[in-house]
């Protein structure tokens, strides 16, 4: 499993997104919320901030739901395997969730529902176990 982003990298990305931000203990949540705020305001988030938010949130999901049954893809930023169950080793995995980076941040923060993201094509899920990830969202607490 790839290493999660370092705290220093998250803090630097937070400052790129919001120069006035004072990093809290959970910098990943703070960064994801800052990126989400930009998206909801119709602004393009800083590319580095978006990338690190996507990677960090994907790693958080993989840590909470370890396994190798479902592959979560957030191209071009991250891909992790998660969910316990049968392991897939060759070729295209049978259980794949592919989500656009902006949509992933909004899903993880609870600002976008799985159903809405799937309905408008920002999330594609295939395989009978792929939808198990919906139960793990949002990742960020209130």
Q: What is the spatial distance between Cα 52 and Cα 69, in angstroms, rounded to a whole number?
A: 24
Q: pLDDT tens-digit profile of 1-46?
A: 678 899 999 999 999 999 999 999 999 999 999 999 999 999 999 9
pLDDT at residue 23, rounded to an integer: 93
Express each pLDDT in 43-69 by its tens digit: 999 999 999 999 999 999 999 999 989
**What pTM did the predictor assign?**
0.93
Query: Dihedrals φ, ψ of 94, to 5°?
Result: -75, -20
Give the C-alpha separation, 40 to 35, whole Å: 9
Domain 7-136 grouped into CATH 3.30.1050.40:
yes
């Amino acid at each position: 499993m790839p290493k999660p982003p370092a705290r220093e990298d998250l803090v630097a990305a937070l400052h790129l997104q919001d120069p006035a931000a004072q990093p809290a203990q959970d910098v990943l949540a703070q960064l994801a919320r800052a990126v989400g705020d930009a998206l909801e305001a119709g602004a393009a988030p800083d590319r580095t901030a978006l990338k690190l938010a996507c990677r960090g949130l994907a790693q958080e999901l993989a840590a909470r739901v370890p396994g190798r049954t479902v592959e979560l893809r957030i191209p071009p930023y991250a891909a992790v395997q998660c969910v316990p169950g049968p392991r897939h080793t060759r070729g295209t995995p049978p259980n794949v969730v592919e989500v656009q980076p902006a949509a992933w941040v909004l899903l993880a923060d609870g600002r976008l529902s799985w159903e809405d993201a799937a309905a408008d094509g920002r999330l594609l899920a295939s395989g009978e176990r792929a939808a198990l990830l919906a139960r793990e969202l949002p990742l960020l607490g209130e």
